[in-house]
Amino acid sequence: MKPGFLIFALVTFGLLSYGLYAGMVGAPTEQTMGNVQRIFYYHVPSAWVAFLCFFANFLASIWYLVQRSQRADAVALSTAEVGVVFCTVVLITGPLWAKPVWGIWWTWDARLTSTLVLWLIYVSYLVLRRFAAGAQTQVLAAALAIFGFVDVPIVYLSIRYFRTQHPQPVIGGGEGSGIHPAMLSALLWNFAAFSALAIMLIWVRYRLQIMEQQVEEAHAERALLDPEAHTK
Amino acid sequence: MSRTAAIAGPTIASPGLFRVLRNSLVKDLRLEWRSKDAINSMLFFALLVVVIFSFAFEPTAEESRRVAGGLIWVSFLFAAVVALNQTWARELRNQVLDAYRVSPAPPVSLFLSKAIANFIFVCVLEAVMTPLFVVFYDLRAIGPIYQLAVIGLLGTWALVVNGTFFAAISIRTRSREIMLPLILFPVSIPALIAMVDGTRMILTGEASPQFWIQLLAVYDVVFTTVCIFLFETVLNAE
């Protein structure tokens, strides 16, 4: 374990702890929704992190197709996996909040549907990576990742005809938007904490993937040099 | 003759894109005409789906007009996957795909010929199955019927162009038959939404399907471009 990583992990832990405190205790209770509104401090940062991960996956996939760099592929895989995890958190915390507030778990609203489709696309990406064999996996996965990323704006466009029930953005929204300063500060702390957590997870996953690549290479080399040893 | 040319040997002229496309398409259509593998299995599959749906839903009820768009397209989608799975499998025998890879023929023409062949197969399927749907579900279009043809052509191309591309990906995987729908369906969701909602609007006459037709056109242009752009990479993936 590198010291840089250790320091980063400690910072992340501190941010997460403070974010938890700010969201659960520091921020005032919302007038109409009550305590259930506090899900907001986890739901919104998770969504933000998931979208960032998928965007990074898209860039890494293009990078891989251009340079065939093993590092790019490791970045693509780790960002996709972490992105799917955070997207899952979004899809779980959303209905938990919606049931008491809207009275229903799920509605086929533009924001919800496009997030679900985003999740489906990247799960199919991970499934492809598991089922395709050998080195061509990386090329095929990179091609699918580009398709997936191009698809999402079209999904969003195609369902904007649906009635929207998802709350409008509260930050940088239109006139009359905006939230209590303590709420905003809790949200921003959690943004920082979740971003740091995502970077930490991607970092670990990336290192693991690089090691796996090295092990695979070593196996292949050994099989080439001494075919007998490999079968024993 | 210069020295370098002598070392390089005789250069093979790359055959024209359209000539390769035409020859490859004619070959695929002739193979299908002789075997009728894809068409027969698709037709029977779609027929089964129609019959099973009619048990799941009340086919003659008034609201069937509202769900018919979904039923029609889901059955066509499932049937198309049957044909798409066979697209490249045929080329694996005798290493035809490898031969194509080393040949100087442009990969785009191979992709387009496959996509056009699949497009023709699925259109034939739709032409045969649509009257059956009309009879079984007692459908009458209240909206402009010619727009159904536009949605049909644009939507079929949307499914087929991505399907042909993803079939080239899934052919390299373990359990390839199940792999194709797993990667094709999520990406095809916008096209399916447009096809289903556009068809429903025409059948019920509630609203104009203008927006959905435009969306399908955008989808077709975007994904045909991405497919053409990435196909060579996927074909040569090693």
CB A188 within 8 A of CB A48: no
Backbone angles phi, psi at A186, to 5 degrees: -60, -40
Average pLDDT in chain A: 86
From first to last of its 232 residues, what are the pLDDT tens digits of chain A? 688 889 999 999 999 999 888 888 878 787 778 788 888 888 999 999 999 999 999 999 999 999 989 999 999 999 999 999 999 999 999 999 888 888 888 888 888 888 999 999 999 999 999 888 777 888 999 999 999 998 888 888 877 766 556 776 665 555 555 677 778 888 889 999 999 999 999 999 999 999 998 998 898 888 888 766 555 4
AA letter at B133: F
Contacts of residue B60, defined as CB under 8 A and 6 or more positions apart, other chains included, come to: B137, B138
Short-list B127, B136, B143, CA closest to B198? B143
Q: Residue A139: its chain B contacts at CB < 8 A?
A: 233-234, 237-238
Burial class (CB in 10 A: 0-12, 13-18, 19+), A188: middle
Query: Alpha-carbon distance B2 to A13, whole Å?
Result: 69
Total residues found in chain B within this entry:
238
Q: Is A218 on the interface with B (CB under 8 A)?
A: no
Query: Alpha-carbon distance B105 to B134, whole Å?
Result: 44
The DSSP string of chain B is: --HHHHHH-SPPPPPPHHHHHHHHHHHHHHHHHHH-HHHHHHHHHHHHHHHHHHHHS-TTSTTHHHHHHHHHHHHHHHHHHHHHHHHHHHHHGGGHHHHHHHSSS-HHHHHHHHHHHHHHHHHHHHHHHHHHHHHHHT----S-THHHHHHHHHHHHHHHHHHHHHHHHHTTBSSHHHHHHHHHHHHHHHHHHHHHHHHHHHHH-SS-THHHHHHHHHHHHHHHHHHHHHHHHHHT--
Interface contact flag, B194 A151, Cβ < 8 Å: no
Q: Which two tokens stand for residue B125?
A: 């399927």
Burial class (CB in 10 A: 0-12, 13-18, 19+), A107: middle
- The predicted pLDDT at position A161 comes to 67
The residues with which A132 forms a beta bridge, in sequence order, are B173
Q: Which two tokens stand for residue A33?
A: 């929704």
- The predicted pLDDT at position A208 comes to 94
Interface contact flag, B190 A154, Cβ < 8 Å: yes
Q: Which two tokens stand for residue A12?
A: 């992340």
CB B154 within 8 A of CB B211: no
Q: Which pTM was predicted?
A: 0.86
Contacts of residue B51, defined as CB under 8 A and 6 or more positions apart, other chains included, come to: none
Q: Is B167 on the interface with A (CB under 8 A)?
A: no
From first to last of its 238 residues, what are the pLDDT tens digits of chain B? 344 444 444 455 667 888 888 888 998 899 889 988 888 888 998 989 888 888 887 776 677 777 888 888 999 999 999 889 888 888 888 888 888 888 888 889 999 999 999 999 999 999 999 888 888 887 777 778 888 899 999 999 999 999 999 999 988 888 888 889 999 999 999 999 999 989 888 888 878 888 899 999 999 999 999 999 999 888 887 6
The 3 state secondary structure assigned to A18-35 is HHHHHHHHHCCCECCCEH
AA letter at A42: Y
CB A15 within 8 A of CB A165: no
Looking at CA atoms only, how far is residue B234 from chain A in angstroms? 6
Nearest CA in chain A to B225: A147
State how far Cα B6 lies from the chain centre: 46
Looking at CA atoms only, how far is residue B185 from chain A in angstroms? 9
Test mutation, B161, B170, B177, B183, chain A, max A CBs within 10 A: B183
Q: Is B52 on the interface with A (CB under 8 A)?
A: no
Angle at A159 between CA A153 and CA A163, to 5 degrees: 135
- The predicted pLDDT at position B227 comes to 94
* SS3 of residue A132 by DSSP: strand
State the first-to-last Cα distance of chain B, in angstroms, to the nearest integer.
36
CB B194 within 8 A of CB B73: no
